[in-house]
Amino acid sequence: MQVKITPSPLAGTVQLPPSKSFAIRALICSALAGGGSVAPLGTSADIAATVQALADLAAGRDEIFCNESGSLVRFLIPVAAALGKSVTFTGAGRLPRRPLDAFATLLPQHGVQVQTDGGLPFSVTGKLRPGQYEIAGNVSSQYLTGLLLALPLLDGDSAVLLTTELESKPYIDITLQVMAAFGVQVRPTDFGYLVRGNQQYKPVDFTVESDWSHAAFFMAAGTVGQEIKIAGLNPASTQGDKAVCAMMERFGARVEVRDRIVRCCGGELRPAEIDARDIPDMVPALAVTAAFAKGTTRITGAGRLRFKESDRLQSVALNLRAMGVQVEELPDGLVIHGTGVVQGGTVDGCNDHRIVMAFSVAAAYAAGDSVIKQAESINKTYPAFFEDFCALGGKADVISNR
């Protein structure tokens, strides 16, 4: 799908969809508990894939299709192994090429036979054994979440030892919070985590909070232009992406959080230095904001973005250049030379929801019309994005469904 964006400032109030990070974890815990409820869920492709994958796992199917969800496949592989399932995980889009090396090395050390070429399809046979698990903390935190979800199901205690400093810790905090809500405890240590075996997930009714990661796109609009109000966000959330408030303040925005409403409006835009190790999903929105700030912004600590739905660092650089912005790629980040002006252009959505949303905001403030290709990618996490975008005053028209 191609969407034409005509420049038009955004202003007003928006309510964001439920947090995918909370929802997927809670759905898995609820399935392992054999009951309870998880709501609200929204209608994203990742949530639909999770619901179907859990149903297939419970039904004893030998193939689990994870669509394009990297978190789902990395969470479910060790869970399936802990349950003694013999299954093959498959996926679509770029997911089959995203790395699963950590599990290919680790699981065979603990009783599970693995068949993979480094990605999907990924087959597991046998039952996971308790013991000591060593894993790097600077690879995707999704591996660690998968282990933490699975190890309480084993018939003995386990220890997870981190061989490097843990990055993206807020995502692990979400994991532990959701597990605790379902009655399962994990004890952090100086070296990793201790997980008691023979625990049981308990059925509960779990309420999913709104998604801070999507706030970044509309707060970018507020920083560049007029006031945006985002309703329903939990200011005490464990979601690391609530740091978007502090990040936008670095760019000169005025941000106020009160009564679960975030208000963001522009001040005098300025460049910033950003360490994105704990907030990688915000990089596309931060990069777009930087393009409108006169001066040089440096974003580092985001090397893992090269293994997302697209190589996000490459995708951001490609599209900033298409809109007339000078940018340099680093191995783990970007250097953006903002001039305060962004030209209209043709944006390659790269089959990546966060690229489409970030550059739709850039297009709303560009000096000319833009066309966003592969705009349907928003369905992965935020199907109503363009509805909300237009409700705030944006002008987006579908010009092709191909």
Judge contact between 328 and 338, C-beta under 8 A: no
Rounded to an integer, the average pLDDT of 149-175 is: 96
**pLDDT tens string 373-396:** 999 999 999 999 999 999 999 999
Largest CA distance in the chain: 62
Rounded to an integer, the average pLDDT of 274-287 is: 95
Which one of 281, 348, 352, 388 is the catalytic residue? 281
How high is the pLDDT of residue 235? 94
Q: Does residue 402 have a pLDDT over 80?
A: no
The band of 168, judged by pLDDT with boundaries at 50, 70 and 90, is confident
How high is the pLDDT of residue 400? 85
Domain extent listing, the chain: 2-17+210-400, 20-207
Query: Quick one: 336 exposed, middle or buried, by C-beta within 10 A (0-12, 13-18, 19+)?
Result: buried
Judge contact between 73 and 82, C-beta under 8 A: no
Would you state the structure tokens that stand for residue 386, as one six-digit string?
């363009």
Judge contact between 295 and 268, C-beta under 8 A: no
Same topology, domains 2-17+210-400 and 20-207? Answer is yes
The band of 246, judged by pLDDT with boundaries at 50, 70 and 90, is very high
Q: Does residue 39 have a pLDDT over 90?
A: yes
Q: Does residue 255 have a pLDDT over 90?
A: yes
Rounded to an integer, the average pLDDT of 301-310 is: 91
Task: Evaluate the CA torsion angle 97, 101, 102, 105 in order and state its sign.
Answer: positive
**pLDDT tens string 190-210:** 999 999 999 999 999 999 999
Q: Does residue 169 have a pLDDT over 90?
A: yes
Average pLDDT over all residues of the chain: 97
Q: Would the pTM count as exceeding 0.75?
A: yes
Query: Quick one: 233 exposed, middle or buried, by C-beta within 10 A (0-12, 13-18, 19+)?
Result: buried
Percent of the chain with pLDDT over 90: 95
Q: Which helix (H) or strand (E) holds 270?
A: none
What is the second-level CATH architecture of the domain 2-17+210-400? Alpha-beta prism (3.65)
Query: Quick one: 35 exposed, middle or buried, by C-beta within 10 A (0-12, 13-18, 19+)?
Result: exposed
Q: Does residue 401 have a pLDDT over 90?
A: no
How high is the pLDDT of residue 262? 98
Between CA 318 and CA 314 the distance in angstroms is 6
How high is the pLDDT of residue 138? 87
Tell me, rounded to whole angstroms, the distance of Cα 332 from its chain centroid.
Answer: 17
How high is the pLDDT of residue 237? 96
The band of 267, judged by pLDDT with boundaries at 50, 70 and 90, is confident
Helices 283-291 and 312-322: angle between axes, nearest 10 degrees: 20
User: How far, in Å, are 218, 226, 255, 280, 388 from residue 248 at the CA level?
Assistant: 11, 14, 8, 15, 21
**pLDDT tens string 326-353:** 999 999 999 999 999 999 999 999 999 9
Q: Does residue 167 have a pLDDT over 90?
A: no
How high is the pLDDT of residue 375? 98
How high is the pLDDT of residue 399? 93
- Domain 20-207: which topology? UDP-n-acetylglucosamine1-carboxyvinyl-transferase; Chain (3.65.10)
Would you state the structure tokens that stand for residue 78, as one six-digit string?
């060790």
Is 281 noted as a catalytic residue in this protein?
yes
How high is the pLDDT of residue 44? 96
**pLDDT tens string 138-160:** 888 999 999 999 999 999 999 99
Other Cβ atoms closer than 10 A to 58: 12
